[in-house]
């Protein structure tokens, strides 16, 4: 019955992606918590794992919302007066979480890899030619 419906295909694919990305995110965060780090690891290794963990967490949340929406559409087909408010209300905590954590992801990315990957002029000049502010 559901095998030929596009909404069911969307449900299955997004559910699988959500499962894989959430499991990956949990494993990355557990790896961060349980491993020992030297001072040098805090410069590249730890921020890179944190970036990957947050990215897979955001991917998991997005695909989980797609899965939830597809399941509502399949079960309540034709009752958009129920589907739309429920999806909007369920997206409020997800949106607030992403709103609070995305700047953290950007900050970690910029502090780890620098702005040079986005600014081609600084990349051509090289990191050594940038001026260091005089701090007193």
pLDDT on residue 131: 52
pLDDT on residue 47: 87
Q: How many CA atoms lie within 13 A of 118 on its CB side?
A: 7
Q: What residue ranges do the domains of the chain occupy?
A: 55-125
Report the chain's terminal Cα–Cα distance, integer Å: 73
Q: How far apart are CA 56 and CA 21, in angstroms?
A: 5
- Count how many residues are written for the chain: 136
Q: How far apart are CA 117 and CA 53, in angstroms?
A: 21
pLDDT on residue 113: 79
pLDDT on residue 118: 55
pLDDT on residue 115: 66
Q: Return per-residue pLDDT of the chain as tens, 136 residues.
A: 666 778 899 999 999 999 999 999 999 999 888 877 777 777 778 888 999 999 999 999 999 999 999 999 988 887 888 888 888 898 898 889 889 988 888 888 888 877 655 555 554 555 445 555 555 4
pLDDT on residue 127: 47
Q: How far apart are CA 12 and CA 27, in angstroms?
A: 23
Please check whether residue 111 is in contact with residue 44, taking contact to mean a CB–CB distance below 8 angstroms.
no
């Amino acid at each position: 019955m559901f095998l030929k419906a596009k909404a069911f295909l969307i449900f299955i694919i997004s559910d699988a992606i959500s499962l894989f990305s959430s499991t990956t995110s949990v494993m990355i965060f557990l790896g961060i918590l349980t491993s020992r780090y030297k001072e040098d690891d805090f410069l590249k290794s730890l921020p890179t794992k944190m970036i990957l963990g947050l990215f897979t967490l955001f991917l998991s949340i997005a695909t989980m919302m797609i899965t939830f929406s597809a399941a509502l559409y399949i079960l309540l087909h034709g009752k958009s007066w129920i589907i739309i408010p429920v999806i909007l209300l369920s997206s409020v905590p997800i949106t607030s979480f992403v709103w609070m954590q995305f700047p953290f992801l950007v900050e970690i990315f910029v502090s780890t890899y620098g702005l040079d990957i986005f600014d081609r002029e600084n990349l051509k000049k090289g990191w050594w030619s940038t001026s260091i502010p005089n701090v007193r």
